[in-house]
Each structure stands twice: as C-alpha cells, then as structure tokens.
Amino acid sequence: MTSAWALGQRALREAMRTPEALLPTLFIPIFFLVVNTGQAAKIFPSASTSFLEGQGYGAFQLPTSLLLAASFGTTALFLVEDIEGGYFDKLRATPIPRTAIVLGRLIAELVKGLVIATALVLIALPFGISIASGPLGFVLLIALTALWSVVFAGFMQLIALKTRSAAATNSGSLIFFPLLFLTPNFVPRDLLTSPIEAAATLNPVTYLMEALRSLILEDFAWGRILPGFAVVAALGALMIWLNVRLIRQYD
Amino acid sequence: MDDGRQRAEKRREVGISLRSPAQNAGTENPASVGTTPAVHAEALVKHYRSRAGLVEAVRGVDLVVEAGEVFGFLGPNGAGKSTTVRMLTTLLSITSGTVRVAGTDVTREPDEARRRIGVALQEAGLDPRQTGRELLVLQGRLFGLATRDASARAEELLELVELQDAADRQIKSYSGGMKRRLDLASALVQEPDVLFLDEPTTGLDPASRLTVWEELRRINRLDTTVFLTTQYLEEADQLCDRLAIIDGGRIVRQGTPAQLKAELRDRQGLASDPTLDEVFLDATGRSRSRVAGDVQEVSA
C-alpha cells in the first residue's frame, strides 16, 4: 500500500495542478441540477408528490448530479498521457506490485470524489435540500458517490490501457449517458414505462441512484441503501481485477 | 554476496553517490572482475501479430555483456534494438529464449530483476506536472526507500546531474537536455547494477550530448554496467568498450570497436582502419548512397 499511496499522492498533485480538468466535474453537475429541477419542479410539487417525501424536486434530482460528477473519469486521460510520454513504462520498470499502479490513481480518484461530492451537497443544502438520514447518511452519501467515481475511473482506465488512445478513452466516457439515463432519474422506477423500467432494472446504476436518493429523502432504508453499496463493491472489485490483469499482460 | 550486491556495497562504502560531480571527477574505480555477466541473453526471440501479419522483430539474439562494461547496441531503424532492450528490462514479454540480468532471470523473477536495473528509454519517461525533485523522491519510494531517504537520494542525484537549481520547477518547463539528465538520474535512484539507456542523446544539441556522455562515463566509473543503444556511431566509438550490431532482428557483428574495424580492414584489404560508420554500413548491407536515399525519402 505504500507504493499505491505514493502514486496516489502523485495523482493528487497532478489533479491540483490541472484545475481546468477538475472544475467541469463540479460545474456541469450543478448546471444539470439547476436545469432539471427548473424544468420539472412544477410538475412535481412537493406537497402533492408522495415520492418526494416532503422535499422539493431538487432533492430528487441531486443523486443524478452526484453520479454525473463522479463519472468524468479524467484520470484515464492522464493515464494515456503517461503511456504516450513513457512514464507508464517507467512505473512498470519498478518492482512495485502491479496492483499498486492501478490503485494509485484510484486512491486519488476516491479523494477527489469525496471532495467534489461534499462540495456539491454543501452547495445544494442552502437551496432547500436536506439529508433526511442525518449526519451518518451524509457520510454514506458522500462515500457512495466517491466509490462510484472509483468504479467509473477503473472502467475508463481499462479503455485507456486497452486502446492507449486519448480519443478512444474520451469516447468511452459516453457510455455513462445510457447508464445514467436508463435509470429512474426523473421519476421512481414504478412510474417508468415498461421497456424503460426493464432496462433500468437491469442497469446497476439504478441501484446506486436509488441508494443515494434514499439517503437524501428517507431515514435509513437499508433495503435500498445496501444494494447501492453492493453494486460499487462488486463492480469495483471487477474493475481492479481487470485493470491489474491488463497491466500484467501489457506489452 | 554476488557481484551486483558487492558493487552496490562498494558504492555505498566509498560514498560516491553522496559526492558532488566535482568531487567525483578524480575517482577511478577498478573495472569489475565479476564472473556473472551483467546481461546474458540466449536465443532471444520476439514475435508479435500486427495487421500486416506476424512480425519477427527479434530472431534469436545471443548477447553477453560483462559486468562493468559500457556496451553499445547499434542497428538501423526497425532492426530490433528497442524491442530487445524492452525484453531485457521486463517491459516486453519474451516469445522464446532466456535473459538473465545481473544473474536474475527476467521472466521468472521480474521484480528482482527490476531492483537491479535502471531504465531510461527513448521517450524520456517523465511526468511533466511533477517537479524534478518530486519525480526522484517518488522513484525512490517506489524502490522501497523511506520518504526521508528518498529525499536525500533525490538531492544527491540532482547534484549529480546538476539540476539543483531547477529541482522545484515542473518538468514541463525543462529543456530537452535537462529532461534527459533527469531521466538518467531517475534511472539511478536504486543504484542499479545495470543501466539500460535507449538512445539517450537522440534529439540533444552537441553540448547536451557531451554532458550526457560525461555522466555516463562517471556512472560507469562507479562500476555500473551501461547497456546503450544509439544511432550515433561516434557516440558508440567514444563511449563503448564493446559493441553489437543488430540488423533484421539478428546480431550481425559483435566485438570491441577496434576489433570490428580491424576485421573489416583485413577482410577488405584496406590501407588504414575504417571508421565505425563503415563497419556499420558493411554489417547492415547498406551503402552510403542507399542510406542517403533512405534519408531523403524519410525527410520528404
């Protein structure tokens, strides 16, 4: 873990020295939160919309913005730079476990995810959004969002390692749009039309979104929270395993 | 204690790496008399598939580099130099054959091999957003040094390659020569037994090239074996104790520069020693006119 942490610190320095890559991960989700809430808030007044649990529509939309913020995966573009510039080979020529090479960037992604998710929620709070599950729920909300950013960064790193191309890696991030929008992002799952409901049920991001939403709108409903954590645990383990496998086979 | 460990111990005993370049200038260490070759490759082969089909990049290379040598590995573009170096340094899988570096099998014990080698590849592998100091400290930590020791080692190396003044600037602001010197320093963090350098002076101006040559001589005086690929024959002539020329994935000549020149002189009945350029052209089946034509074609 010493090597992974050392590489994580390096990736964090890299992030701090490229604020232009970090700022969109905050501003674009805020933009979506404002626009989506502005467009649909009148359709779903809090007084007569039971699924809002007494809050405004912004609270229902916040998980979409959190997931969007956690799904940029810009770290993979830095990895492509490392590959193209030869620094990745320099790392491969050191006697550290290949897992450390993968975990280094993912640790940094976790830290960035925690900071960005915290900032986003804190920005949202003054606009009438509250976290119904309290301080512990707030911590779980931030943690779950940050863990998803690790999963998504792991996926993007797979594309970077496989293609070694910035253009292909950038295109890979587009997969998040079907993942994000084939979910109950505007209304709960039982209000979706049948085909979209079926797609949402198959989409793992749905369970993540429902867990985040539950933490915002309800007191601890573990039946909805735990599946979200199970999704990030399973996909996270899969991504790390696939990344390490690719690096071991890397020629 | 094996030869590599003895050399590392010796460097630590004499404290060479802690000294400034000026202090080191007069240090002459005796050549290593170790019995374990620094590099021993047998029947080394690399095949890979491309869109055009099977590429036989390296077709059975046998190499023995003795400890303490500066060994030059020459060849035209696409001859298999970099592919061979990448196999020797664990960065590329080996299709068949065996490689031992500093007595360690690179396929069976890659991490042990990595501890014993320093690598500076063609593309000065640096992270442009780190400072020179941060890069060297990180490299030290990746080789198992505690943060304080890694910082001290970074300071020594910055002094060695004369980059103290630029140590806290981001690498993206460095000139080409500074990047090469920093890359060299990062390859020396763990005091390697064998230093692999893939075209370390390509793209450098003559002054920077001379600086790198001087660094290499100094490093070699500390009993580090240097395995160097280059396209500059003058560089090979100046620096290398022995040379191998690879062409089409096979070694076509091997020996000291003097031996290679004498062999060509005797074979062609020349009145005086040929240059290393002429040895190279003879070994690779190229003529000056053909090479000139190739260059024109590439530059067009």
ipTM confidence: 0.89
Q: How far apart are CA A242 and CA A244, in angstroms?
A: 6
* pLDDT average, residue stretch B100-122: 94
Is B114 in Cβ contact with A95 (below 8 Å)? yes
pLDDT tens by residue, A11-69: 999 999 999 888 889 999 999 999 999 998 889 998 889 898 989 999 999 999 999 99
Is B90 in Cβ contact with A14 (below 8 Å)? no
Closest CB to A90: pick one of B111, B125, B128: B125
Pull the structure tokens for residue B6: 């003895």
Share of chain A above pLDDT 70, in %: 100
* pLDDT average, residue stretch A208-232: 97
* Of B21 and A20, the one with more pLDDT: A20
Per CB distance under 8 Å, which residues of A are interface residues toward B? 2-3, 6-7, 10, 13-14, 17-18, 82, 85-96, 251
Is A86 in Cβ contact with B124 (below 8 Å)? yes
In chain B, which residues fall in CATH 3.40.50.300? 3-251
Contact A200, A186 (CB under 8 A): no
Q: How many inter-chain contacts (A to B, CB under 8 Å) are there?
A: 71
Is A90 in Cβ contact with B186 (below 8 Å)? yes
Contacts of A85 in chain B (CB under 8 A): 123, 125-128
Contact B67, B58 (CB under 8 A): no
pLDDT tens by residue, A146-159: 999 999 999 999 99
* Of A113 and B9, the one with more pLDDT: A113
Which value, to the nearest 10 degrees, does the dihedral of the CA atoms of residues B231, B235, B241, B247 take? 10
pLDDT on residue B212: 85
Q: Which of B84, B117, B142, B183 to mutate to test the interface with A (most CBs of A within 10 A)?
A: B142
Q: Name A147's Cβ contacts closer than 8 Å, sequence gap at least 6.
A: A110, A113, A229, A232, A236
- Angle subtended at Cα A77 by Cα A71 and Cα A79, rounded to the nearest 5 degrees: 115
CATH number of B3-251: 3.40.50.300
B246: β partners: B251
* Of A172 and B294, the one with more pLDDT: A172
Contact B55, B48 (CB under 8 A): yes
pLDDT on residue B28: 38
| Phi-psi region at B135: left, alpha or beta (left = phi > 0; alpha = psi -120 to 50) | alpha
Q: Does B82 touch chain A (CB under 8 A)?
A: no
Taking the whole predicted model, whether its pTM rises above 0.90 is answered as: no
* Of B63 and B204, the one with more pLDDT: B63
